């Protein structure tokens, strides 16, 4: 036969209650770090890669707490230079902010889209188009270079411009069409992307209504006519 458990009485000391009341509900700790903000201005035509080694080196050696601002106002330029800048932005530990301050055409538009954060001022423009180049060499060499360059360019456009540009728009660019966007268009697309929506709604193909069959009128000649 088990004995019933006796209730235990907790004996507290009033002084302990006073000590508990004096304890703070939380404790605050603070530390300070150093954040660098570095700005580069890409103004004018994009030239040879050697002119941008300072920018490239900064992107490569920046730390995770650094902010790198790229202010853009450029008609575009050297494809190789722009692609190297884009690749270094992707590899940089820093948070890279691209700022559209007037226009960014061609390769400048691709650099703008490569940023970790995109800022657009009022009354700005982006323009996307196909590449241009000059060829030398024998005919077969030129043909091979054209095929390789087009494949390379299309791949870069898909990697950098999607989802900002739709597949249909990329196809139009590949065929030689230019696409122009102003500030309102740019902000609208960026807002849709942030919401997880397509940047631009694809146009649905509508089936054309079937043509009504016209009644055939048989023209018979009166009897007696040749």
By the 10 Å C-beta count (0-12 exposed, 13-18 middle, 19+ buried), 85 is classed as buried
Mean pLDDT of 81-93: 97
Q: Is residue 84 part of a domain?
A: yes
Q: Does 212 fall in a domain?
A: no
* Enclosing domain of residue 90: 33-128+179-194
The verdict on residue 66 lying in a domain is yes
Q: Is residue 110 part of a domain?
A: yes
Secondary element (H or E) of residue 172: helix 167-174
CATH number of the domain residue 60 falls in? 3.90.226.10
70 lies in some domain: yes
Residue 149 covered by a domain: no
* Any domain includes 153: no
Which residues touch 161 (CB under 8 Å, ≥6 apart)? 110, 113, 128, 170
Domain total for the chain? 1
pLDDT tens digits, 144-194: 766 787 888 899 999 999 999 999 999 999 999 999 999 999 999 999 999
Q: pLDDT tens for residues 111-130?
A: 999 999 999 999 999 999 99
């Amino acid at each position: 036969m088990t004995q019933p458990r006796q209730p235990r009485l907790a004996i507290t000391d009033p002084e302990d209650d006073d000590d508990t009341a004096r304890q703070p509900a939380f404790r605050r700790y603070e530390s300070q770090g150093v954040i660098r903000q570095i700005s580069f201005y890409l103004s004018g035509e994009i030239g040879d890669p050697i002119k941008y080694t300072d920018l490239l080196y900064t992107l490569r050696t920046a730390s995770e707490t650094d902010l790198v601002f790229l202010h853009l106002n450029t008609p575009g330029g050297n494809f190789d230079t722009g692609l190297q800048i884009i690749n270094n932005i992707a590899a940089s530990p820093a948070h890279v902010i691209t700022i559209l301050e007037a226009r960014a055409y061609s390769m400048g538009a691709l650099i703008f889209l490569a940023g970790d954060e995109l800022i657009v001022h009022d009354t700005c423009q982006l323009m996307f188009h196909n590449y241009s180049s000059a060829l030398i060499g024998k005919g077969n060499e030129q043909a091979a270079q054209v095929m390789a360059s087009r494949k390379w360019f299309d791949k870069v456009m898909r990697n950098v411009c999607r989802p900002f540009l739709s597949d249909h728009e990329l196809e139009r660019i590949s065929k030689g069409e230019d696409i122009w966007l102003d500030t309102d268009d740019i902000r609208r697309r960026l807002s849709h992307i942030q919401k997880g929506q397509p940047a631009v709604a694809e146009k649905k193909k509508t089936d054309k209504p079937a043509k009504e069959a016209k009644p055939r009128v048989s023209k018979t000649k009166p009897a007696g006519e040749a």
